[in-house]
Structure 1
């Protein structure tokens, strides 16, 4: 009779253990989703961001066909360039070949990039002098190209310690953008623009783990 008047519940009796287990399952699924997103981001970027003390960027006009290379040498003699992307605290974050096969990948599709930029990070402090050079690997227009090199100190706040624009007109030509000296605390104590060749260090056939055939030098 009670069923005819809807006076009794047709739902099963409440089970508190089942409710707790369901909530635990929800939380576990949520944490798994967050972890999946983090792993996906790492896969897309290809690397985990690390702390940097300095960024050194080199830019030239968008869509320009010429190829420039950024060379940075630390006080220990380590040189970072496109054949040695990581050495000591130096990392070449971005290599750019100008009009030669300069692509970026967007949603799995390769797209020709108009930007012209190379980027080096310094992830730790070594006291002494750093040399930042620009090398004009290939010139196609025969006209001077303005190449801007910027050195930024990131900690404790971002500040520009050097910004120089060089007119580069000849291929196989190297120029010094800036040389700066750090103390043991990472403070810049001096700067100069006196030319100093980094390529000379490559006359040693064991240096940097590669030949300089790209630059016309042989072992």
Structure 2
């Protein structure tokens, strides 16, 4: 018996193959580019240059000068004449409207923001006291001061946010006190008054 073997023949067009391969390559490159253009969002994370941040703000364009004082666990003080102690840093000292005028391209620019910022770049255990002091006044009026304490590493967490009033020149108030434990966790957040401003050094 004769055996017959049938075969199927496929006609291929080299130009079609080339177009198909080019389309595959283009799709692959597009997907790779899309991944780099849209990295996944990391909600609530920031660049960990500090562990804690304290922000003290008062009214924009106010000429009054409010100072931030912080006492660390060993009694060390951070203030405008001593901007660094241990791992505490006064990153910005604001003097009201003084030094807030900039000359850029021949134009005078005024920065209206009144804000002082202190960072703690580590977690030394112990109690921290944050006070605000009505250092200088042009208006002789009460000044509402907002104090913001946040843990910023590894993710942003607001620990304290409040507004208090400094009613007269020279007044000092405790904005917040908190304790960092040996495990690095924050506890005992309160506003019990404690004077730390050293008037004789001003």
TM-score of the superposed pair, with normalisation by structure 1: 0.65
Q: Give the SS at the match of 1:185.
A: coil
Q: CA RMSD in A?
A: 2.2
Provide the residue aligned with 2:38 in structure 1: none
Cα deviation per residue 1:117-136 (whole Å; 9 max; x = unaligned)? 00000001111110000000
Provide the residue aligned with 1:184 in structure 2: 182
Change (3 A) 1:116 1:91: same
Post-superposition shift, 1:140? 2.4
Structure 2: gaps spanning 5 or more residues: 1-46
Structure 1: gaps spanning 5 or more residues: 1-48, 204-210, 215-219
Q: Which has the higher contact order (CA 8 A, sep 6+)?
A: 2
For residues 114 and 83 of structure 1, the distance between their equivalents in structure 2, rounded to whole angstroms, comes to 23
Query: Quick check: 1:90 aligned with 2:65?
Result: no
Provide the residue aligned with 1:137 in structure 2: 135
Q: What is the 5 A alignment of 1:68-217?
A: 68-103=66-101, 111-199=109-197, 202=198, 212=201, 214=202
Change (3 A) 1:130 1:110: farther
For residues 52 and 104 of structure 1, the distance between their equivalents in structure 2, rounded to whole angstroms, comes to 29
Change (3 A) 1:144 1:51: same
Number of aligned residue pairs: give it: 156
Change (3 A) 1:143 1:67: same
Larger Rg: 2
TM-score of the superposed pair, with normalisation by structure 2: 0.71
Provide the residue aligned with 2:16 in structure 1: none
For residues 56 and 106 of structure 1, the distance between their equivalents in structure 2, rounded to whole angstroms, comes to 30
Cα deviation per residue 1:166-197 (whole Å; 9 max; x = unaligned)? 11121111100000011123211111111101
